[in-house]
């Protein structure tokens, strides 16, 4: 009798569980999107055109919209599950990001992305050089920033406890002015703009602003990059490097990023961009641990 009662009780519990589970609404599934590029290649060339094929599948419900982006620019918005966009021109070097956001009518969405590496269409020219003159320089300085301005050399140095900015007489190498950083900071690139000297630091995501005439520290600022390397300006905005192949333009009031480019030649990306110089609309950058400019 007890065994029959136990069996009936277990069966009753199973039936309750079954019906309670079956009465629960099914969870809406996310749409699944496939992105295909034609022609398919490991990398692409600046100016080349590609076709992008998008196909989205849904297990339940209906598609409300599908949005296709390239580098955050909207290329197409549709409610059609499968489509192809032809002749998309790759107009910037770097890792281009193709992203699709598919949204169903119940609000459930999913995003997928792929990247395309775009190299330059220009084979760089090789230049030679000759040394015109030598000037004395403090060999104890770990030089990070260097700018020749109005007849004097302005130098930013690195290493914690030794970082600073200096005004140097070019002919004699004598230090005319200096301002040291706090020991917690590793100084990096410098540039001069609008009677101010700007200086980056290495990993503190902090920069400093000095009065050009007396080297008094005026202010500090924050930047997004994890590391600060080289610094120059185009007469209006700051341009910094961060140890990658990126060059980043910063607004001098808010220090927000205005734009960013990724440097590449016809063979690949150029990483470890370091000290920068802006001359007649072109940027010259040395590559850290190499003799390449």
What is the CATH number for 96? 2.60.40.10
pLDDT in the model for residue 27: 84
- Quote the Cα angle for 276-282-285, to 5°: 25
CA dist 233 and 250 (Å) reads: 9
pLDDT in the model for residue 15: 53
Task: Point out the least confidently predicted range of 13-17, 46-50, 170-174.
Answer: 13-17
CA dist 229 and 246 (Å) reads: 11
pLDDT in the model for residue 13: 57
**What would the pLDDT profile of 146-160 be if each residue is shown by its tens digit?**
999 999 999 999 999
Mean pLDDT in residue range 111-117: 95
Quickly state the pLDDT bin for 20 (edges 50, 70, 90). Answer: low
Residues 184, 107 within the same domain:
no
CA dist 229 and 273 (Å) reads: 8
Instruction: Decide if 24 is inside a domain.
Output: no
Per DSSP bridges, beta strands 152-157 and 238-241 are: unpaired
**What would the pLDDT profile of 268-285 be if each residue is shown by its tens digit?**
999 999 999 999 999 999
CB 124 within 8 A of CB 263: no
Instruction: Decide if 126 is inside a domain.
Output: no
What is the extent of the structural domain holding 48?
32-119
Q: Is the pLDDT of residue 201 over 60?
A: yes
Q: What percent of the chain has pLDDT over 70?
A: 91
pLDDT in the model for residue 7: 57
Q: Over the chain, what is the mean pLDDT? A: 92
The count of residues in the chain is 293
CA dist 290 and 293 (Å) reads: 9
Residues 188, 70 within the same domain:
no
Mean pLDDT in residue range 220-230: 97
Mean pLDDT in residue range 32-38: 95
pLDDT in the model for residue 3: 58
Instruction: Decide if 185 is inside a domain.
Output: yes
Residues 205, 82 within the same domain:
no
Mean pLDDT in residue range 127-153: 94
Per DSSP bridges, beta strands 82-89 and 238-241 are: unpaired
CA dist 35 and 101 (Å) reads: 11
Q: Which of 119, 153, 188 is the last residue of a domain?
A: 119
Instruction: Decide if 10 is inside a domain.
Output: no
Residues 150, 254 within the same domain:
yes
Residues 191, 280 within the same domain:
yes
Residues 61, 101 within the same domain:
yes
**DSSP secondary structure, 199-245, as one string:** EEESSS-EEEEEETTT--EEEEEE-SSS----EEE-SSSEEEE-SSS
Mean pLDDT in residue range 62-79: 94
CA atoms within 13 A on the CB side of 24: 8
CA 86 to chain centre: 28
**pTM: predicted TM-score of the whole model, two decimal places:** 0.85
Q: How many domains does the chain fold into?
A: 2
Mean pLDDT in residue range 156-165: 96
Closest residue by Cα to residue 281 from 251, 252, 239 = 239
Q: Is the pLDDT of residue 35 over 90?
A: yes
Residues 193, 83 within the same domain:
no
- The domain spanning residue 192 has which CATH number? 2.130.10.10
CB 125 within 8 A of CB 169: no
Residues 277, 190 within the same domain:
yes
Mean pLDDT in residue range 221-240: 97
């Amino acid at each position: 009798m007890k065994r029959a009662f136990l069996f009936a009780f277990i069966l009753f519990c199973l039936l309750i569980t079954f019906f309670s589970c079956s009465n629960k609404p099914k969870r809406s599934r996310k749409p699944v999107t496939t992105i295909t590029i034609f022609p398919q290649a490991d990398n692409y060339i600046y100016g080349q055109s590609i076709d992008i094929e998008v196909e989205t599948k849904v297990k339940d419900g209906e598609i409300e919209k599908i949005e296709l982006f390239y580098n955050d620019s909207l290329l197409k918005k549709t409610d059609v599950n499968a489509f192809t966009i032809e002749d998309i021109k790759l107009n910037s070097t770097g890792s281009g990001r193709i992203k699709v956001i598919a949204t169903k009518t119940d609000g459930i969405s999913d995003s997928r992305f792929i990247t395309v590496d775009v190299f330059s269409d220009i084979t760089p020219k090789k230049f030679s050089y000759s040394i015109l003159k030598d000037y004395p320089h403090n060999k104890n300085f770990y030089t990070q920033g260097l700018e020749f301005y109005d007849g004097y050399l302005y130098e930013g140095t690195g290493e914690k406890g030794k970082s600073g900015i200096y005004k140097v007489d070019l002919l004699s190498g004598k230090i005319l002015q200096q301002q040291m950083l706090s020991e917690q900071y590793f100084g990096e690139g410098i540039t001069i703009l609008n009677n101010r000297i700007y200086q980056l630091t290495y990993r503190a995501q902090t920069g400093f602003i000095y009065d050009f005439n007396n080297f008094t520290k005026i202010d500090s600022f924050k930047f997004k990059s994890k590391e600060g390397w080289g610094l120059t300006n185009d007469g209006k905005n700051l341009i910094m490097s961060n140890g990658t192949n990126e060059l980043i333009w910063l607004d001098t009031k808010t220090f927000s990023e205005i734009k960013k480019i990724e440097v590449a030649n016809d063979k690949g990306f150029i990483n470890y961009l370091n000290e920068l110089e802006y001359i007649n609309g072109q940027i010259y950058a040395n590559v850290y641990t190499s003799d390449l400019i």
